[in-house]
Chain A
Amino acid sequence: MNNLTAAQRVKLARTPGRPGTLDFVNALFTDIFVCKGDRLGREDPSIFGAIARFHGKPVTVLGHRKGRTFEENMKCNFGMPSPEGYRKAQRLMKQAEKFGRPIITFVDTPGAYPGLEAEAGGQGEAIASSLALMSALTVPVISVVIGEGGSGGALALAVGNRVLMLENAVYSVLSPEGFASILWKDASRADEAAGIMKLTARDLYQLGVVDQVIPEPEGGAHTDAKAVFEAVNQALTRHLNQLNKEKDLAAHRYQKFRAMGAVREEVEP
């Protein structure tokens, strides 16, 4: 799978049959108790939340949900959360901290929903407060980018002590289409944009944004989902064991994100 172009990986990451958050949850966890609602007036199905057991130990699981059928797609807004979804995630993260449960998140979204109600409801504030809250959690947080990691809407579930990424998942500041239309006023040049955006798992590993790339079978995750579940299972187990030895998980996470991006101290201009 080493010879795929970035644009080909974007297509794989968006393949409809690719395992999504619910598939990972059902394969890796037991005793699943689904938690709904932001307690402020709405349930946003585009963010899945549950308490479950991972190898016998209780954890909180969160993840973007795109839905399988067209009906589900519509209900989940194609995986584009509204502010209420992020506020539900915040509620469940605080709850996880209260009960000392590790948090595992699955990232798979084209981005936060750019709609009228979403803006009126404070999409920016909802993402910002998620980032702030997540950065300071005292429990272990592991995020796995399983498909599309689209912009702030993805990051709001990905401020983890570890950020893992499937080989053909992508993670970027903006979709290649959006990128091409901003830069060249031409969304049809998305493939070209993907090529220069550094959005593949390997690129992000080299940039230090991602801690581990989890290999996928030839042809993509959907061709042998079981193998992918097992690889993610092993990675989660290993990182969770490592993080359990970490004394100050909030400080660890702060330092991790504090180090993102090198600077130069120049005197001029």
Chain B
Amino acid sequence: MQPLFRSRRDRLDRLRRQREEAVEAASKRESIPQSGTQTCPNCNTECTNAQLVQTDYVCPNCGYHLPIGAYLRLSLLLDPFTFRELWAGLTAPNALDFPGYESKLVAQREKTALSDAAVVAVGKLDGRQAVFVVLDSRFFMGSMGVAVGEKVTRGVEYAKKHRLPLVIFSASGGARMQEGILSLMQMAKTSAAIEQFSRSGGLYISVFTHPTTGGVTASFASLGDITLAEPGALIGFAGPRVIQQTIGQELPEGFQRAEYLEEHGFVDQIVPRSQMRETLSQLLSLHRKGVFHR
């Protein structure tokens, strides 16, 4: 028995080390370098990258929340060494034979080191286990094709099966055009999964981050028990340019921003990045007993 235990323990240790290294490598790849500067897209202030690391990539001058990658997002939320990624290498084929799509996918994968635009993970936040799905806008603008739809759906089904709370961070330009109608069908697939999860008594916290539009807004992202948004995030079904073309007039200041959605009753609270972990911890704690009472 002893050798068997030892080999199992060694294998677990090895797997854990591999995972930790993977996260570290991924967050290194996606994080902005420590030296140098970049300009805030909102107020044009020049910020040093050292500063931005300190503020979780929020502009120190105006509070603009710069988009961040999925692994960095998870590293800001999860307890150390509790991260376990699920279905990391899942991809979808070019089912519609869309010209040039494969080579674009390869380029996106090389640029981001992601297999597609969603990361699913199980981990602990303040000691509470939950399933996290994070969309990454660096990969094809976070658009939802079959791979994203499948990862979201599997994440939801996993949470239902293991009776865990579910947290989804959305950031998406909408449907993946190159996967056409199959992208559209992911809206039905993911929404159906959320509905089953909800009926089983599971807690789903949906967090809108900048920008979330189209098919993601019109499916799982809008179906949370609790809906949060990062300050200033653009959230909508139709994109601002399409709306402007349709109505033929200028859009009002702040239209489709998180604050606008809060005013119109579609967001419970706007939560700055610096308070996100604390807020999620509070919500998970408030639902500790209530989850899966059915």
Q: Interface residues, chain A, CB within 8 Å of chain B? A: 112-116, 118-125, 127-129, 131-133, 135-136, 151-152, 155, 159, 171-174, 178-179, 182-183, 196-199, 204, 207, 209, 253-254, 257-258, 260-269
A148 to chain B: closest CB distance in Å?
13
* Separation of A151 and B191 alpha carbons in the complex (Å): 15
Instruction: Please tell me which one of the listed residues B180, B184, B217, B246 contacts residue A155 in the complex, with CB atoms under 8 A apart.
Output: B184
- CB pair B266–A125 under 8 Å, yes or no, is yes
CB-CB under 8 A from A269, the residues of chain B are 89, 109, 113-115
- CB pair B113–A254 under 8 Å, yes or no, is no
Q: A114-B242, A152-B215 are in contact. List 15 more A-B contacts (CB 8 A).
A: A116-B243, A119-B255, A122-B264, A124-B217, A127-B222, A128-B219, A132-B223, A136-B199, A174-B175, A179-B177, A182-B177, A209-B185, A260-B188, A261-B150, A269-B89
Instruction: Please tell me which one of the listed residues B95, B181, B185, B265 contacts residue A257 in the complex, with CB atoms under 8 A apart.
Output: B185
Interface assignment of B81: CB less than 8 Å from any CB of chain A? no
- CB pair B177–A199 under 8 Å, yes or no, is no
CB-CB under 8 A from B113, the residues of chain A are 269
Instruction: Please tell me which one of the listed residues A113, A199, A254 contacts residue B180 in the complex, with CB atoms under 8 A apart.
Output: A199
Beta-carbon contacts of B242-277 to A below 8 Å, as 1s and 0s? 110011000110011000100011100000000000
- CB pair A257–B188 under 8 Å, yes or no, is yes
Interface assignment of B153: CB less than 8 Å from any CB of chain A? yes
CB-CB under 8 A from B252, the residues of chain A are 116
* Separation of A124 and B195 alpha carbons in the complex (Å): 16
Interface assignment of B15: CB less than 8 Å from any CB of chain A? no
Q: Interface residues, chain B, CB within 8 Å of chain A? A: 87, 89-93, 95-96, 98-99, 109, 113-115, 145-147, 149-150, 153, 175, 177, 179-189, 191-196, 198-199, 214-215, 217-223, 235-238, 242-243, 246-247, 251-252, 255-256, 260, 264-266
CB-CB under 8 A from A197, the residues of chain B are 96, 180
B162 to chain A: closest CB distance in Å?
18
CB-CB under 8 A from A196, the residues of chain B are 96, 98-99
- CB pair A114–B192 under 8 Å, yes or no, is no
Report the nearest A residue to B199, measured CB to CB: A136
CB-CB under 8 A from B147, the residues of chain A are 263
CB-CB under 8 A from A260, the residues of chain B are 146, 149, 182, 185-186, 188-189
Query: Given A128-B222, A172-B180, A269-B109, are A261 and B89 also a contact pair (CB < 8 Å)?
Result: no
- CB pair B255–A131 under 8 Å, yes or no, is no
CB-CB under 8 A from B182, the residues of chain A are 207, 209, 260-261
Pairs A–B under 8 Å by Cβ, sample size 18: A114-B246, A119-B236, A121-B264, A123-B238, A124-B222, A125-B222, A128-B220, A128-B223, A131-B188, A152-B184, A155-B184, A207-B95, A254-B192, A257-B189, A260-B146, A263-B150, A265-B90, A269-B109
- CB pair A131–B89 under 8 Å, yes or no, is no
- CB pair A131–B191 under 8 Å, yes or no, is yes
Instruction: Please tell me which one of the listed residues B96, B195, B219, B266 contacts residue A198 in the complex, with CB atoms under 8 A apart.
Output: B96
B6 to chain A: closest CB distance in Å?
26
Report the nearest A residue to B98, measured CB to CB: A196
* Separation of A81 and B96 alpha carbons in the complex (Å): 29
Report the nearest B residue to A179, measured CB to CB: B177
- CB pair B175–A173 under 8 Å, yes or no, is yes
- CB pair A171–B181 under 8 Å, yes or no, is yes
- CB pair A116–B181 under 8 Å, yes or no, is no
Report the nearest A residue to B217, measured CB to CB: A124
Instruction: Please tell me which one of the listed residues A257, A261, A266 contacts residue B192 in the complex, with CB atoms under 8 A apart.
Output: A257
Instruction: Please tell me which one of the listed residues A129, A182, A266 contacts residue B115 in the complex, with CB atoms under 8 A apart.
Output: A266
B48 to chain A: closest CB distance in Å?
30
- CB pair B191–A261 under 8 Å, yes or no, is no
Report the nearest B residue to A150, measured CB to CB: B184
- CB pair B256–A119 under 8 Å, yes or no, is yes
B241 to chain A: closest CB distance in Å?
10
* Separation of A178 and B93 alpha carbons in the complex (Å): 24
B240 to chain A: closest CB distance in Å?
9
Instruction: Please tell me which one of the listed residues B99, B150, B218 contacts residue A152 in the complex, with CB atoms under 8 A apart.
Output: B218
CB-CB under 8 A from B243, the residues of chain A are 114-116, 119
Query: Given A119-B238, A123-B238, are A173 and B189 also a contact pair (CB < 8 Å)?
Result: no
- CB pair A129–B222 under 8 Å, yes or no, is yes
Top-3 shortest CB links A-B = A261-B146, A114-B238, A135-B192
Report the nearest B residue to A174, measured CB to CB: B177
CB-CB under 8 A from B237, the residues of chain A are 112, 114, 118-119, 123-124, 127, 152
